[in-house]
Amino acid sequence: MKSSLTTALPTSLLLLPLIIPAAASAAPSSTVAYAIAMALSNPSSPRRGLVGALTRSTSGTAMTSMRGITTTTKTKTKTKTTTSDLNMSRRNKYSAEWIDLLSPESYSSSSSSSSSSSSSTLLPGKVHPPRSGGVAFATPDGAGLFAFGGYAEVPSVDGGDTPPERYVVNDMWQFLPYTPPPRDACPDGESSSSSSSWGWTEAYQIGDRRGGGEARYVPPGRLAAALAVLPPAVLIGGWDPQTPGTGGMILDDVSMLDVDDALVWSRCVVDDASVATIPDGPTSRHVASRLSIRGDDVNDDVREDVICLHNHRCDDHVFLLSTTTTTTTTAGRNSVRWNRVDTTGTPPSSRGLHCAATVRRSRTLVVFGGAAKDGNMSNEAFVLDADTWKWTKVDCGSGDGRVAPVPRAGACLCTLDDDSVLLFGGAAPGDGGLVGLNDVWVLNVDVESGKGEWDCLIPHRNLNDADDGDGILRPPGRNAAQLVPIDIDILLPKDIVWKSGSSADDSVERRHFLLNGGWYPFRMTYNDVFLLRISTDCLG
């Protein structure tokens, strides 16, 4: 549903452009707790905090009455005999570099197959309209990169005299690989680096308004959802703003996307063929990550991939989702099973808008940041061991030059290697309100000792300040974005110019991540196309 916002302002700690009463503009913007309450309030009802808003629903059902759920309680914990996965004194050294793929200067002026004085590489397509709060994911083989949903923003045509149009979407976008045209298509008979189409292109989901074929299920529009890939890709929950001023609806649905042959969605079912929902009720601003868990208590080599769901209600447990069969007898529906697992140790306090990734070959979940009910943001990191189901708060030390990211919410967290995660962006409280961040960090973590160490690769800079000339290219600060690992050999042209050297240099290990969407609170929603390279040198 589209809505023209003529008497409302977008606001904050959903950290997405929400709709609030115009009177809220009189509020002190530096009071983050007030901004949070207003962002998640219904004008016709008492104000509610973050956690209360996350659970708001007219169809809540007690977890004990939900079908397809198994509860697992750990009665004993095995003593580990393995050595530490990470010696903190011998950690890797990292560096980071951004490339703006929409800038012609990001491509070489010549190549072995072209003698032109300027690059002939066409620039990639962009997601349109810009949006924030969607989900994005890569397929395990690195050949597919997709983005779904979010809150779209269409700028006003009069240059800002009227508010932009904002509305929730459920469209799908795919990042098409760069494919040079055949040599005989070039006037000079030489191969060319130009491509007729690459980058973000709207994809036609089977069953949507353009996908054709028989009527099929497509998840309704949403933002603040979570998605993880086993495969298949599984979309869990989220928030539909609906009509401005109503507070919208928190969602409890679970949907599965087939990306192997066609973009076909199906509504998940549990074993008895009833529709699958989130076990403890509707939720948004949560995290979901693929975990590799023990298939039995004897053989550590027997592993099962599941999706771990963590939300603000998970104080002593997490939920695991597994695919029990490929398909059921019900056409187009996929069977899943929920399993509640009790946890021990020191868990994250109740929070939303946190971020998560995995380390140790997907055997450990890392959770960072987020915001509590009272609006306070966090810069704490926690790890959950999928063998013992014990939470540990990561001890990053203090003093002696130790640094750490500022507290934030709505950031991006990605797996970097077996002992490290990559952090980008988010929003943090500032003197004039919420600040969109563009810093890049790496957290090295030793799961067994609970020790960790932060390394700032690119510091935050406000790109509007005149004194920010540090010579480092970076995207504008933002939250509610997605940062997705990609295989540049499959998806990108070969003539990208890197200051850090050629991708063919085997002396340094490199990983690449594509930034999609996001929102700087109160200012702008983005559809730029930035690529982040992380280079790794092993010390020692």
Specify the CATH number for the domain of residue 30. Answer: 2.120.10.80
CA angle (356, 530, 527) in 5-degree steps: 90
Average pLDDT over residues 303-309: 95
Is the pLDDT at 413 greater than 70, yes or no? Answer: yes
For 133, the domain range is: 2-538
By mean pLDDT, which of 335-344, 371-380, 501-510 is the weakest? 501-510
Cis amide bond preceding 231, omega within 30: yes
Burial of 67 (C-beta count, 10 Å sphere; 0-12/13-18/19+): middle
Give the integer Cα–Cα distance in Å for 394 and 390: 12
Task: Look up residue 414 and give its two tokens.
Answer: 């990605």
Confidence of residue 33 (pLDDT cuts 50, 70, 90): very low
Most confident of 102-106, 349-353, 508-512: 349-353
By mean pLDDT, which of 176-185, 329-338, 386-395, 505-514 is the weakest? 329-338
Confidence of residue 8 (pLDDT cuts 50, 70, 90): very low
Instruction: Give the helix/strand (H/E) hosting 53.
Output: helix 50-54
Confidence of residue 66 (pLDDT cuts 50, 70, 90): very low
- What are the pLDDT digits (tens) for 197-255? 899 999 988 765 555 556 678 999 999 999 999 989 999 999 999 887 888 999 999 99
Q: Report how far apart, in Å, the C-alpha atoms of 397 and of each of 139, 359, 451 are.
A: 36, 20, 8
Task: Look up residue 539 and give its two tokens.
Answer: 């010390």
pLDDT at 112: 31
Number of domains in the chain: 1
Give 382 or 41, the one with higher predicted confidence.
Answer: 382
Task: Report the predicted TM-score, pTM, of the whole model to 2 decimal places.
Answer: 0.82
